Amino acid sequence: MKRALLAWYDRAKRDMPWRRDVSPYRTWISEIMLQQTTVATVTPYFGRFLARFPDVKALADAPEEDVLKAWAGLGYYSRARNLRRAAQKIVAEHGGRFPDGFDAVLDLPGIGRYTAGAILSIAFGKPYPVLDGNVARVFSRLFAIEEDVKAAATVKALWARAEELLDRERPGDWNQALMELGATVCLPESPRCGDCPVARWCEAKKRGRQDELPVTPARREPVDLSWTCLWIERAGRVLLWKRGEDERFLRGHWSLPEARHLDSAPGPRLKTVRHTITHHRITVDVRRAEPPAVLPASAAWVERAALRERLVSSLWLKALA
């Protein structure tokens, strides 16, 4: 089974910029970008990000705002902030060279067991497994696992399978082959079993269970939230707010101030914007307001022409449109 999957991967793997010219830095950036984001979306961002921050040092030295700007549109901005913090840690603790020990990689901000395994196996050829949504789906079908794939006990068992099956000679290719199979053949809906290189070993296919597996928990119910944001303009400049680290959403982002941030009464409504973050559906009322008597430290006046430079989340781009 392993030989068949690796041979298929050698033939069928998709060309992606991070698969050419593999390095720990490139693999790391691509893996972080690919979390919750598709290959098609990531591809142009990857090229631009690498051109702007070609190595760990460049990323570590960059102002946070520049990194967030290069990330604008990819969402889940904590990923970008963690990348920069991790780069600073690599410079401070590893002399700017990406570490090659599992514990040291896992210790970097934003890197969990999956990402550490991906970087170490793909870029360093080290024998660490990966388990992401694609691999979990493939395993749940290959081995006809009928338990909820997100339950802690199942996740533990899946990691053990990943460890046991790992190809010790080609760990990076093996991990990528599993992920590639999940992304292109063993699809969430209607898996293409007729094109599958491991179909003859697949327990779900044997039992006709491939459309029922994996078993997943019920979807989270959407949560509706309302924000009132203030448009405060004076002499061609608009008052922006740097959101703190204690915010629930868009931490560390420049934004329009919310009414709760400032001592200024919301006036007439200018616009209503709808935006979704994970399962939260946020309705944002943008209202005109007057400048507060005292300007808090998190507030700053920004030229109207420079607003798009600061307000990088697509939520604010909708508000500005």
* Residue 287 touches ligand SF4, criterion: CB under 6 A: no
Q: Which two tokens stand for residue 201?
A: 């070993």
Binding marks (x or -) toward ligand SF4, 126..155, rule CB under 6 A?
------------x--xx-------------
**Peptide bond connecting 214 to the previous residue in cis, omega within 30 degrees of 0:** yes
CB of 125 to ligand SF4, least distance (A): 26
Contacts of 28 (CB under 8 A, 6+ apart): 83, 98, 111, 115, 119, 123
Q: How far from each other are the two terminal CA atoms of the chain, in whole angstroms?
A: 53
Residue list 70-129, contact with ligand SF4 (CB under 6 A): none
* Residue 214 touches ligand SF4, criterion: CB under 6 A: no
Query: How far apart, in Å, are the Cα atoms of 171 and each of 120, 132, 147, 162, 309?
Result: 9, 15, 27, 11, 42
Rg, the chain, Cα only: 23
Q: Tell me which of 72, 198, 230, 239 binds ligand SF4, using CB under 6 A.
A: 198
* Residue 191 touches ligand SF4, criterion: CB under 6 A: yes
**# residues near ligand SF4 by CB under 6 A:** 15
Pick 142 or 262: Cβ nearer ligand SF4: 142
Of the listed pieces 82-90, 110-118, 196-204, 238-246, which binds ligand SF4 according to CB under 6 A? Answer: 196-204
Q: Tell me which of 104, 193, 277, 299 binds ligand SF4, using CB under 6 A.
A: 193
CB of 9 to ligand SF4, least distance (A): 14
Q: Give the C-alpha separation, 162 to 190, whole Å.
A: 24
Q: Which two tokens stand for residue 245?
A: 């680290």
**Which residue type sits at 25?**
Y
Contacts of 9 (CB under 8 A, 6+ apart): 173, 176, 177, 180, 181
CB of 185 to ligand SF4, least distance (A): 5
CB of 140 to ligand SF4, least distance (A): 9
* Residue 12 touches ligand SF4, criterion: CB under 6 A: no
Q: Give the C-alpha separation, 26 to 54, whole Å.
A: 9
Q: Tell me which of 33, 59, 166, 204 binds ligand SF4, using CB under 6 A.
A: 204
The residues carrying an active-site annotation are: 31
Contacts of 288 (CB under 8 A, 6+ apart): 230, 231, 232, 233, 266, 267, 268, 270
Q: Tell me which of 196, 230, 232, 312 binds ligand SF4, using CB under 6 A.
A: 196
Q: Which two tokens stand for residue 226?
A: 């309302």
Pick 216 or 314: Cβ nearer ligand SF4: 216
* Residue 60 touches ligand SF4, criterion: CB under 6 A: no
* Residue 32 touches ligand SF4, criterion: CB under 6 A: no
Of the listed pieces 113-121, 149-157, 204-212, 276-284, which binds ligand SF4 according to CB under 6 A? Answer: 204-212
Of the listed pieces 41-49, 119-127, 193-201, 260-268, which binds ligand SF4 according to CB under 6 A? Answer: 193-201
**Residue 126 near residue 171 (C-beta atoms within 8 A):** yes
Pick 185 or 240: Cβ nearer ligand SF4: 185
Residue 152 CB neighbours (<10 A): 8
Residues of this chain that interact with ligand SF4 (CB under 6 A) are 138, 141-142, 185-186, 191-193, 196, 198-199, 202, 204-205, 210
